[in-house]
Chain A
Amino acid sequence: MTDATLSGGHGRSSLTTTDANTKRRNAAEKRFRAYGLTAIVIGLFFLVVLFVSIIRSGLPAFTHTVVEMEFTLTQAQYDEAEDQLFKTKAYSNLFIAQLQAQLEERGMEVEFDEAAIERLLGKVGGNLREYYSANQNRLGEPVQFSLSASSRVDGYFNGRVTREALQDSRFLMASDLDLVDALRNAGIIRSEFNWNFITGADSGVDNPGGAGIGASVIGSFFMMLVVLVLSLPIGVAASIYLEEFAPQNRFTDLIEVNISNLAAVPSIVFGILGLAVFIQFMHLPQSAPLVGGLVLTLMTLPTIIISTRASLKSVPPSIRDAALGVGASKMQAVFHHVLPLAMPGILTGTIIGLAQALGETAPLLLIGMVGFVARGYPDGFVAGFTEPNSAMPAQIYTWAARADASFYEKAWGGIIILLVFLLTMNIIAIILRRRFERRW
């Protein structure tokens, strides 16, 4: 042994100095951690951007501007207006006179005509006439009127509409904004929470202010009910059979492969299938939540089957052995022991499947759940599964496709509501999983 071999040999190096190999491994680990962290930061960044833009674009949909003013109509004025040829014009002239008087009372001088009022508040005269012909007893006493301003006034309040942009608009003129400012200073016009957006039904193309998502929430709710009632029992029964009872042969393999394939089929395919089978062949009503629910059931089943089978598989076989060992039948072993243990996974899978179905739009387009404006809401809707209705994502799609910028705002607002529902469902899934989870 020479000195050279001693000093250069393995196993003689000090633990306090890191060798090249260790250094390289440590560096690789550090690099990997940095990559992972970067990926997470990028993901979070996009999430924040998404939320901020949704909330910023969608929040205005939840407020609307209303003109609140006291209006008095005497019996004499009523009779006189009803005698004229243009009755509603007479009403709006009376309205303008009183509005002008109230503004002057507060020391504000603004010139405006009937056309300006119509641009701001729509057909005021007609509304007033309708009110008084129904409530003649209110003649001669002051009545508090609350009139919705046009969607462009909403836009002016939340900064979407500017004076410059109005230069050549015939819907709202820059001069009208002087009136709006004066009304605002006088405390006659103000912005308030738009309950109609949450509870109301969709409006016509010309009335973005009156559009609400409520009817489509009910439609979505009915569809989810159909999906839950059909897909949970069918899905769980199918997975229990496949996982616990079915023999392993070529036929069951084929079924298994096809279920996985079905989960990957684009949702629009299910839509056209629904159109062909449920509407054209079985003659179920068009645009009905029942049909929507059936189509979404087809779409959700594979998801539920796959997640249920996965959670059945994750129950340790020793539990099955234990049950069989004390003389339980196969079915008793499954229903008394395996299924309760798989329950949290099954529930989570079901809720995630439902959430997916809730946000699905494409199949609904094909069965006619879009482009549909509600009449007679709410009576006609709540009636049930076979009445024509819309669904939340379809409603959002309809709004986004309309020309008026305030509908675009409504679409973002609808997305906020949809996300609230999805988040709620996911939280329920987490809570259920926590509650039912058992450790062994």
Chain B
Amino acid sequence: MYDTPNTERAVDQKDIKFSARGVQVYYGDTHAIKDVDVALEDKTVTAFIGPSGCGKSTFLRCLNRMNDTIDICRVEGDILLDGEDIYDRKVDPVQLRAKVGMVFQKPNPFPKSIYDNIAYGPRIHGMAKSKADLDEIVERALRRGAIWDEVKDRLQASGTGLSGGQQQRLCIARAVATEPEVLLMDEPCSALDPIATAQVEELIDELRTEYSVVIVTHSMQQAARVSQKTAFFHLGNLVEFGETGKIFTNPEDPRTESYITGRIG
């Protein structure tokens, strides 16, 4: 499964997009994320791997403050996006989420037409001045979501009538329609069959040229296939972070090694 030679992925020194310092997350009394320090690079796919309940999704949701919707959740420490603290009191989470798009585990298109699904974000952010503008934005987003050819003739059909894989690509297209700088993906392929998964993975690789992508995945093969950097979480700790090739071939921490070889998790 490691047929993509990792060495081919030229990893230059890139700008840091996100940097987290001493992040702690509590759900009520539960300490879910323990002192995580990490720096995520721009125009790079970073994979978060780890056993269930290790905190990787929680940490992902901290990056666009989706955890704000959970009353009992408390975040400490600094998370900087381009050097600005996203948990600063002056930061409006709505503005942040326009910059940091998200794709969820289960495809969740709005029960509206395909067109309206894509157009919703640009509309509320006032990105289109005219109907023609909006049409163009929708087409561009659907093309980037690699679903344009399949739906171009039925843009007014319901988004929920698509197959699971198409729905997920629609959701990715919806997320990129607002021109975010970072795309967070929370196990985007867990509800998809292998063919749809391959399509989405291909898409992620293309998105890398314009966005910084963070993907949470349960599949180590997937992490190896799509990412340049990998972070391994275990019991709320960030155990190891580094080049994907190194993590999978020569991990430093014994816990990483035993997870990758299938002994824990």
Contact = CB atoms under 8 A, between A and B. Distances in A.
Interface of A: 247-248, 316, 318-329, 332, 336-337, 341, 438-440
Contacts, number: 69
Contacts of B66: 321, 324-325
A325 B110 CA distance: 12
Interface in B95-138: 95, 97-98, 101-104, 106, 108-111, 120-121, 124-125
Interface of B: 64, 66, 69, 71, 94-95, 97-98, 101-104, 106, 108-111, 120-121, 124-125, 160, 171, 174-175, 177-178
A248 B71 contact: yes
Contacts of A321: 66, 69, 102, 104, 108
Given A326-B120, A326-B178, 15 more contacts: A321-B66, A321-B102, A321-B104, A322-B108, A322-B109, A324-B66, A325-B102, A325-B103, A326-B97, A326-B121, A327-B94, A327-B98, A327-B178, A336-B124, A439-B111
Contacts of B97: 324-327
B174 A326 contact: yes
Contact of B121 (A247, A248, A327): A327
The 5 closest A-B pairs by CB, nearest first: A327-B98, A326-B121, A318-B108, A325-B102, A440-B160
Given A318-B106, A321-B108, A439-B160, A327 B71 contact: no
Interface of A is mostly: helix
Contacts of B175: 325-326
Contacts of B120: 323, 326, 328, 336
A325 B101 contact: yes
27 contacts: A318-B108, A319-B108, A319-B110, A319-B111, A321-B66, A321-B69, A322-B108, A322-B110, A322-B171, A322-B174, A323-B110, A325-B97, A325-B102, A325-B103, A326-B97, A326-B98, A326-B175, A326-B177, A327-B121, A327-B125, A328-B120, A328-B121, A336-B124, A341-B111, A438-B111, A439-B111, A440-B111
A439 B111 CA distance: 7
Nearest to B65: A324
A326 B103 CA distance: 9
